[in-house]
């Protein structure tokens, strides 16, 4: 399905929560949505028969210097089309609803985004650090991250 048609369908259903379509230079195209409605939009994308995005390919956190973003890449096994979803978040306390009840695959990805960026996912069934030790301080993939000098007495 064409990205523009998808964007129009979503805009028709969710109105202002769907912000814009980033088609230039983006493959697959991104539909930027507001954080609050992410779960509802995700559920619609999965359940609507014409869309049926049943597979979450990837969920990544991004640090665009002024703001954070969470990028979702979705794919449909039935219709063989793909789309991206993007949510822009402020730098202080970035947080958005989880989608792991829509796609259970999201859980590990969300834990990674939390671990490396500090992005909180409300309602997640299990949000802990995944790659770094439980007691690590800071979120390394942020652009303004400073490496600690010592970790438990070991020079980093």
Partner 1 sequence: MTTRTDALPTQEMTINMGPQHPSTHGVLRVILTTDGEVVTRALPDVGYLHRALEKIGERVTYAQYMPFTDRLDYLAAMNCNCAWAWTVEKLAKIEVPERAEYLRVIVCELNRISSHLIAFGSYTADMGAFTPFLYAIRERERVNDLFEMLCGNRLTYNYARVGGVSGDAPPGFLEKTKEFLDYFEPKIDEYNNLISYNKIFVHRLANVAVIPAEDAVAYGLTGPNLRGSGVPFDLRKDEPYSVYPKFDFKVCVGTGERGTLGDCFDRYMVRINEMRESVKIVRQAVARIPDGPVRAKVPRLFKPPVGEVYFRSECPRGETGIYLISDGSVNPFRLKIRTGSFVTMSIFEKVTRGLMIADVVAVIGSFDIILPEIDR
Q: Does 30 bind partner 1 (CB under 8 A)?
A: yes
- Of positions 1, 60, 95, 120, contacts partner 1 by CB under 8 A: 60
Q: Does 103 bind partner 1 (CB under 8 A)?
A: yes
CB 13 to partner 1: min, Å: 23
* Other residues' Cβ atoms within 10 Å of the Cβ of residue 79: 14
Closest residue by Cα to residue 57 from 9, 99, 6: 99
Query: H or E stretch including 14?
Result: helix 3-14
Q: Does 26 bind partner 1 (CB under 8 A)?
A: yes
- Nearer Cβ to partner 1, position 16 or 137? 137
- Ordered DSSP codes for 44-108: HHHH-TTT---EEEEEEEEEETTEEEEEEEEE-TTT--EEEEEEEE-SSS-EEE--TTT-TTHHH
Q: Does 47 bind partner 1 (CB under 8 A)?
A: no
Applying CB under 8 A, the residues found at the interface with partner 1 are 22, 24-28, 30, 54-58, 60, 62-63, 71, 73, 77, 80, 84, 103-105, 107-109, 116, 129-133, 140-141
């Amino acid at each position: 399905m064409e990205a523009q048609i998808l964007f129009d369908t979503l805009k028709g259903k969710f109105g202002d929560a769907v912000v814009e379509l980033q088609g230039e230079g983006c493959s697959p195209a991104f539909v930027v949505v507001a954080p609050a409605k992410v779960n509802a939009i995700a559920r619609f994308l999965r359940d609507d028969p014409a869309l049926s995005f049943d597979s979450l390919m990837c969920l990544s956190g991004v640090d665009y210097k002024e703001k954070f973003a969470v990028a979702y890449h979705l794919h449909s096994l039935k219709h063989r089309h793909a789309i991206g979803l993007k949510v822009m978040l402020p730098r202080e306390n970035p947080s958005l609803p989880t989608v792991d009840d829509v796609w259970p695959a999201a859980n590990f990805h969300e834990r990674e985004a939390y671990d490396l960026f500090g992005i909180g996912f409300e309602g997640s069934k299990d949000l802990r650090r995944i790659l770094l030790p439980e007691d690590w301080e800071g979120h390394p993939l942020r652009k303004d991250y400073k490496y600690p000098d010592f970790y438990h007495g070991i020079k980093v």
